[in-house]
Amino acid sequence: MTVSSGPTSGTVTSFRTKLLLAMMLVVSGLTLLGVYLAQRNVAITTQRNLRQSFEAELSWLHRLQQLRNAALQERCRGLAAKPRIHAALEDNALDLLYPSAKDELADLMQTEQQPAEEAAGSLHARFYRFLNVDGIVLPPPNPKEVGELAPDDEKRLALKELPDRQQTAYLTEKGTAMPPVVDEVIFVPIFSSETNEIIAALVVGFRPFELTGVHVRAGMKSGILIEGALHLALVSTAARKTLGEEVTQAIASGDRTKGSFTVTVNDDTQLLFYERLNANSLLASAYQVCIYPLTESIARQRRLSWQIGGAGALLLLGGFMASRFLAMRLAQPVEQLALDSEENRAQRQRVEAVLESTSEELERTARYSADASHQLKSPVTVLRTGIESLLAREDFHPNVYEELSALLHQTRRFTSVIDDLLLLSRMDAGHLKIDSQPVNLVQLIEEWLEDLAALPEAFEVAVEKEFPKSLFIAGEKRYTSLIVQNLLENARKYNRPGGHIRVLAQQQNGEVMLRIGNTGRAIALSAQEHIFERFYHNSETSVAGHGLGLNLARELARLHGGDLKLVRSKNDWTEFEVCFHVANAVPVTTD
């Protein structure tokens, strides 16, 4: 590519740079957007997966709980149906209550051989107690058979009022060592099979189901929040306390049933879920709390963002090269365009300058001729008046009168030349405006023919007339009259003795055509193309003329929207044709 001039080169370079910048901006924007969207997608997917995992765990837990609760309920219904239980409760034989229930509840309790690990999550109870109708815990005669509890913890099982439906509560055993053992305690009312009254309640304590085993993702920890205290194994006391406070706050301020949030403890970001365990319980609410470490997920996100970032950088580089190439390609026609437009502008400026100078010149010329005409008119008038006054004297020699008459004729001719010049200069300057009115062309012709006939001339010519009674054209009368006068005068002036003039006027196709032909010597072929030029005078003719008439007549005809042209000039016949527009409206009266 060739760059010819300085400014053009600068413009093109700037255009190319801008294009490049814009394209790079777009590519960077798209890359950043891609990174952002991908990261968000990963984060959302991770959270959704973890949430689904948590919900799966919980639903598994709930199913187990339901199973256990249904089994318990059935067990209690069976117990209530037992006369011995009724007897023990109603006949003041509480010492016989536990022995009476022992057989019924024997399989409820875990066997001593059962390892503790298996007991967790099993359907076996850790302990059971009966509450009497007043909600007081009935002491078992042999605690070993019904699961041992510290006396303080046993007292905490008491209720103010027995519930009329199964309730689940969570109990932290204070009597045991740290970390405290958490029991899932189920209160089952025992209804009298006879009167349907609540006669007692069975309280069964289980180890809470732990979210362990195949359901648990690596790193997930689950625990239970009871009265603001979180029981979560494998977490330090401080972290447990912080987490407990966080969850309590979240429950207090947000959803009381379930929720999730991200929490950072000991620089580990974790996703925490909580959901109420005993949703329909009248007792103190407890929440299952699960924490999932997000460290891996965050690392994965970071890795991914590096990958996407790298890809973005590559894309950026590719984009940079592509945009550079594209910018060059796109800039090429623009550069050509810039060059062309530069040339065009220079040309236009040149043409404008020429036009301006021409117009100035024209104006100056027109002004000059107008000024000249005006300046000439007054002395000519003075001259003519002087000659006329001299002619009026009677004391001169007759030769002098002849001389004076010739002079007067010359001054008249002079005046007419000045008038023509003045008109032409006005036309040239564009100052002449046509006040278009309907003009009766036939009347004009008739008037001028009469004037011509009245002229004292050397020879007579016959006039042949072919026109209708009236023909109205659009124009200004004084100027159309000038055209007709010019043509008729010429027809007479350049005629030969015994010749004739033919005047033909007719309307055709919205135009009025006037043809004036005369006999006489034809215009030389070489002169024919110059006769309409200003001040052109055919040297071959002997007839006097100042060379302005035809030029003026044609200019005026064109000003009227028509034209004047030489039809033919040979074989003793010269004929001119002038066209006018037909008048739109014809006056009613003509004179």
Partner 1 sequence: MGSRGLILLSAILACFPLSSLADAIVEGRVQLPEARAAPVMAKRYEIVTTGNVLKTEPPLAVVYLEGSFPKPNPSITKQIGQKDLTFIPALLPVRVGTKIEFPNFDDTYHSVFSYSPAKRFDLGRYRPDERPIPSKVFDTPGLVTLRCDIHEHMRGLILVLDTPYFVITDKEGRFRLSGLPSGHYLLKAWIDSKTTRKQPVDLKDGATAHVDFP
Instruction: Tell me the C-alpha distance between 486 and 216, whole Å.
Output: 120
Element (H, E) at 475: strand 472-475
Q: Looking at beta carbons only, is 87 or 158 nearer to partner 1?
A: 87
243, 224 Cβ separation under 8 angstroms: no
Smallest gap from residue 190 Cβ to partner 1 (A): 12
Minimum distance of partner 1 from residue 96's CB (angstroms): 5
Please state, as a whole number, how many other Cβ atoms lie within 10 Å of the Cβ of residue 460: 12
Residue 253 CB, nearest approach to partner 1 (Å): 45
Residue (141 or 310) nearer to partner 1, CB: 141
252 in Cβ contact with 259 (< 8 Å): no
- Smallest CA-to-CA distance from 338 within 261, 247, 330 is with 330
Beta bridge partners of 505: 514
Nearer to partner 1, 190 or 289 (CB): 190
Minimum CB–partner distance for residue 192 and partner 1 (Å)? 6
CB-wise, 83 or 228, nearer to partner 1? 83
- For the bound state, the minimum distance from the C-beta of residue 82 to partner 1, rounded and expressed in Å, comes to 7
Please list, in sequence order, all residues whose beta carbon lies within 8 angstroms of the beta carbon of residue 436, skipping any fewer than 6 positions away: 474, 475, 476, 560
Give the pair of three-digit tokens for residue 117.
């690990």
Beta-carbon contacts of residue 448 (< 8 Å; ≥ 6 apart): 481, 484, 485, 488
Provide, rounded to whole angstroms, the least separation between the CB of residue 109 and partner 1.
23
Q: Cβ distance 56 to 215 under 8 Å?
A: yes
> Strands 462-466, 500-508: parallel, antiparallel or unpaired by DSSP?
parallel
Nearest residue (CB) to partner 1, 92 versus 509: 92
Cα 221 to chain center, whole Å? 53
CA distance 480 to 473: 9
Min. distance of Cβ 78 from partner 1 in angstroms?
11
Alpha-carbon span 273 to 232, nearest angstrom: 13
CB of 143 to partner 1, least distance (A): 21
Return the number of the residue (50 or 85) whose C-beta is nearest partner 1: 85
CB closer to partner 1 out of 99 and 259: 99
Site residues for partner 1 per CB under 8 A: 81-84, 86-93, 96, 133, 192-195, 197, 199
Q: CA 504, CA 489: separation in Å to the nearest integer? A: 16
Give CA–CA dist 565/529, Å, rounded: 10
* C-beta neighbour count of 511 within 10 angstroms: 14
Which residue, 54 or 98, has its beta carbon nearer to partner 1?
Answer: 98
- Other C-beta atoms lying within 10 Å of the C-beta of residue 366: 18
Nearer of residues 90 and 164 to partner 1, judged by Cβ? 90
Smaller CB separation from partner 1, 191 or 536? 191
| Identity of the amino acid at 223 | G
Smallest gap from residue 83 Cβ to partner 1 (A): 4
Query: Do the Cβ atoms of 104 and 82 come closer than 8 Å?
Result: yes
Taking the complex as a whole, how short is the minimal distance between the CB of residue 170 and partner 1, in angstroms? 31
